[in-house]
Amino acid sequence: MRETRRNIAVLGSTGSIGRQTLDIIAEYPGLFNAWLLVARSSADLLIQQARQFRPHMVIIADENYYEYVRDALSDTDIEVATGSAAIAQAVTAPEIDTVVTAMVGYSGLESTIAAIKAGKRIALANKETLVVAGELITALLENSDSVLYPVDSEHGAFYQCLVGERMQDVEKLWLTASGGPFRKLPKEQLVTVTAADALKHPNWSMGAKITIDSATMMNKGFEMIEARWLFGIEPRGIEIVVHPQSIIHSMVAFKDGSVKAQLGLPDMRLPIRYALGLPDGRLASDCRKMTIEDMASLTFERPDFDKFPLLTTAYSAAHTGGTAPCVMNAANEIAVGAFLKDKIRFTDIYDIIEKTMASIAPIEHPTYEDYVACNAEARQLAASLI
Ligand code: MG
């Protein structure tokens, strides 16, 4: 048992992963303390979380809600701030031990870089950070005391399968995918599906953006790129396998023919609990445990690259490298936002991403400023296609 509690910064505390992270912090009050909570615009929930967890500081990123949050917490000694510069500054506070990055999309990049430079332990739930800027993040990590622990369930599985192994013994990573809500739908019908249809994920309860990414399988493409940077494996060494029950969270195949898998119920609190327990060890829990019935019928199939073309797009962006994945991510964020507002069809998401990527030449070995400029350019271009 550690002598002092770990102070945790939860970036994106009002989102799905953020709320489940606070569940885990509440489950182990002797181990963890919520020190900083950051939300984009869900002011009421942030205020409620602040009253429950009594952090040192809260930040509401959207400045329009600053006074509202500040006034609501004026009877407490909780510090209230606003703006993205305040987030990047706050994560470097010496009191903070671990930063949980659970913001949505590109918005997680700046504060993750600040946390790495400050040498923090990072529980990475914002996969877009590595999709957009994996090359830069990897270089920064080499010159920092910071450690990245994956929160994504598949990457948590890889991490667990690789404990005690040598990377040169690895032949392949098997990245499992549920296949999303449209796995059985004929390809021709995808053009008519609505945001409401796409938001019905069969296994996982997640935020809206990632649920649409799961329906297009862009999420799996992102996770392939995330795995590539986390574990230093070339994209061709990562194979996607559809496993509709989401009980096996991913597998590692070794050169001697052996394969290791990590199993568990599809509940994001499992990988969050594992990441927060590192490197000390596993945290005992009264959560529901797996039974024989839960794993009675596990099936596997090949992904349909024809029906889900963004899988090919992701491999191609990973192969091109440089800013290509940044452009892909930016166009995806704009297209998914438009689809959620019923402004475009499901299959238009692919077209917008493809056209945006075809129009912007990738930059090799980008700097942070290159990513910022490229993200802005790609967003503008994608928006003009809607
Ligand atoms: Mg995942």
**How many whole angstroms from 333 Cα to the centroid of ligand 1?**
17
* Distance of alpha carbon 324 from alpha carbon 303, whole angstroms: 23
Domains of the chain (ranges; CATH) run 6-150 (3.40.50.720), 152-307 (no CATH), 321-386 (1.10.1740.10)
**How many whole angstroms from 210 Cα to the centroid of ligand 1?**
9
**How many whole angstroms from 223 Cα to the centroid of ligand 1?**
7
Contact between residue 207 and residue 341 where contact means Cβ atoms under 8 Å apart: no
Chain-centre distance for alpha carbon 223: 8
**How many whole angstroms from 154 Cα to the centroid of ligand 1?**
5
- H or E stretch covering 269: helix 269-277
What residues pack around ion ligand 1 (CB closer than 5 A)?
152-154
Helix/strand/coil for 170 = strand
**How many whole angstroms from 73 Cα to the centroid of ligand 1?**
35
- Residues recorded for the chain: 386
Pairing between β-strand 259-263 and β-strand 248-254 as defined by DSSP bridges:
antiparallel
**How many whole angstroms from 118 Cα to the centroid of ligand 1?**
27
For each of the chain's 386 residues, which pLDDT tens digit applies?
455 899 999 999 999 999 999 999 999 999 999 999 999 999 999 999 999 999 999 999 999 999 999 999 999 999 999 999 999 999 999 999 999 999 988 889 999 999 999 999 999 999 999 999 999 999 999 999 999 999 999 999 999 999 999 999 999 999 999 999 999 999 999 999 999 999 988 787 788 899 999 999 999 999 999 999 999 999 999 999 999 999 999 999 999 999 999 999 999 999 999 999 999 999 999 999 999 999 999 999 999 999 999 999 999 999 999 999 999 999 999 999 999 999 999 999 999 999 999 999 999 999 999 999 999 999 999 999 99
Burial classification of residue 309, based on how many CB atoms lie within 10 Å of its CB (0-12 exposed, 13-18 middle, 19 or more buried): middle
User: What are the angstrom distances between the C-alpha of 365 and each of 139, 173, 221?
Assistant: 11, 25, 21
* Distance of alpha carbon 76 from alpha carbon 82, whole angstroms: 17
**How many whole angstroms from 230 Cα to the centroid of ligand 1?**
14
